[in-house]
Amino acid sequence: MLKKARIAVLVSGGGTNLQALIDAQASGIIHSGEISLVLSSKADAYALERAKKAGIDGLVVSKKDLGSQEAFESQLLAYLKQYDIDLIVLAGFMSILSESFIKAYENRILNVHPSLIPSFCGQGFYGLRVHEAALEYGVKVTGATVHFVNEIPDGGKIILQKAVAIEENDTPEILQKRVMEQAEWLLLPKATEMVSASLIKE
């Protein structure tokens, strides 16, 4: 039986979701797992700075430098193995992972998506585009979803969802911020703890 699930967080940018996870670990919301590694697809991602400040190892794996998806995933897997990782959390990670990579960590990769799946999700729906689509469509409620990652973009089993109201004068940027604050930053740590707890029972 594991004492704590070892978690790797995969990032590409500012790392606000990573920060939510770091804070949740510090406050004891995440107690069945610990963040052991942050892997960034970009060398200049501010998320690496956040990892450093929290005393977590941060490493860069650049597809551009490695030259192919295969080499990129092979390097990711090597680091995950080196750190003995049990659970992967995608936090604004901008690379699609192949089916063989996902199979290697089946039901052990979490992602947060800024809408209520099955709305505004799938290929091409990420970042501000999701919020633009919600506003264009005129829905009154949006939110965020944490789900397991499978070979279909945003197609894995849903773990948690939380609704967020859309307000009269929302822009995509304002809506993005509200969805992060009211849903993503709460759901992702909660789901990470839930899955970590189930892994250490296995």
Catalytic residues: 113
How many CB atoms are closer than 10 A to CB 165?
A: 12
- Residue 133, Cβ neighbours under 10 Å: how many? 18
CB atoms within 10 A of CB 96: 13
Compute the distance between CA of residue 94 and CA of residue 186 in angstroms, rounded to an integer: 21
CA distances for 157 relative to 40, 126, 172, angstroms: 25, 18, 27
Beta pairing partners, 35: 7
